[in-house]
Structure 1
C-alpha cells in the first residue's frame, strides 16, 4: 500500500523546477541530435536557440559538424534535411518549449526572453544561458533571425 501511495505522490506532485528544466532541455538536445541521426562521429556540438519574447515561441538549431558551423537546413544530404523533417523538428521543439514555459509558470519563476543551449556530444556537456532583457521590444529592427544569426556568426568566428 505504501508503494502505491508513493507512486501516486510522485505522479501528481510537481517536480522541482531544476529537475524539470534539466529533463526538458535534455529532451530538446536529444530531439536535435536525432535530426542528425545521432551521428556522434561527425557532430561535435548542438546549438539551440529558443525565444519566448513578445508572447511567441521561436526555435532554431545549428550544429558544429567536422569543425564547421552548419545551419540545420544545410547539414548535408546524408541527414536528409528536407522540408518535412525540418517542420517536424520545429513542431516537436515547440512542444518542449511550451513545457519549459509551463515549468517556469508552475514554479512562479520569471520567464527568460530567450535561451541559448549548447550541448557538446563528447562528454555530454550542457551549457545554458538565459537572457531576460527584451531585444525586439527595445529595437524594432532586431528580429529573431537577427539574434540567432549573430550567435551563429559568433560561433563561426571562434
Structure 2
C-alpha cells in the first residue's frame, strides 16, 4: 500500500532535519530550518540553538565554552552541502504537491527540539517577500533568526 501525501511530505522534512543534525554532529539543543518557494524561486536557511545560544550556521563555535575540546566544521563546502540537500527536499515537496494536487507552501519554518525529538512546522501560503520592493528570502530568514534570538 502506497504512502499518503502527508507521510511523504513529512519524510522530506525529516530529511532536512537529519542533514542539519549531521552538520552539528548531533550537538545542538534545537534546529531552525527556513524554506521558501515564491515566484518559482526556492530558498532555504538554517540556524541553531546550542548551549542556550541562538547562532547562525557559520558561527556555531561562538556557542562553545572555551573549556570544551570540540570545534564544529563550519566550512563553506559543508554549509553549501546542507543547503543543496534542503533545496532538493523543497523541490521534492513541490513535485509531491503537484502530484497530489496540493498547494505548495510559500514558507515553511521547522523547529526541531533535539532532546525531545519533536518537530514543529509552521506553513504559510500567502506571498511573503516577492511583492516587496527590496525584501529577499534571506531577509525573511534573518528576520526569523533575530525574532528567535530576541525571544531567548
Same fold, judged at TM 0.5 (above): yes
| Pairing of 1:1-158 with structure 2 (within 5 A) | 10=1, 13=2, 15-39=3-27, 43-76=28-61, 78-158=71-151
Q: Size of the alignment, in residue pairs?
A: 143
Confirm or deny: 8 A CA contact 1:135 1:142 kept in the other structure. no
Larger helix proportion of the pair: 1
TM-superposition CA deviations, 1:19-63 (whole Å, max 9, x none)? 001111111100100000112xxx110000011111011110000
| Deviation readout 1:105-136 (Å, 9 max, x if unpaired) | 11101111110000000111111011111122
CA contact (8 A) 2:129 2:140 kept: no
Higher relative contact order (CA 8 A, sep 6+): 2
RMSD of aligned residue pairs (Cα, Å): 1.3
| CA–CA separation in structure 2 for the residues paired with 1:16 and 1:123 | 26
Q: Is the 1:48–1:117 Cα contact (8 Å) retained in structure 2?
A: yes
**Partners of 1:136 and 1:143 within 8 A in 2:** yes
Deviates further, 88-97 or 23-32: 88-97
Question: Which stretches in structure 1 are left out of the alignment for 5+ residues?
Answer: 1-9
> 2:35–2:108: 8 Å Cα contact kept in structure 1?
yes
TM-score by length of 1: 0.86
Give the distance between the partners of 1:128 and 1:30, measured in 2 at CA: 15
Residue 140 (structure 1) shift:
1.8
- In our comparison, the structure showing a higher alpha carbon Rg is 1
Deviations, residues 70-124 of structure 1 (Å, cap 9, x unaligned): 0011112711101111111111211111111111111101111110000000111
Q: Is the 8 A contact 2:30 2:111 kept in 1?
A: yes
TM-score by length of 2: 0.89
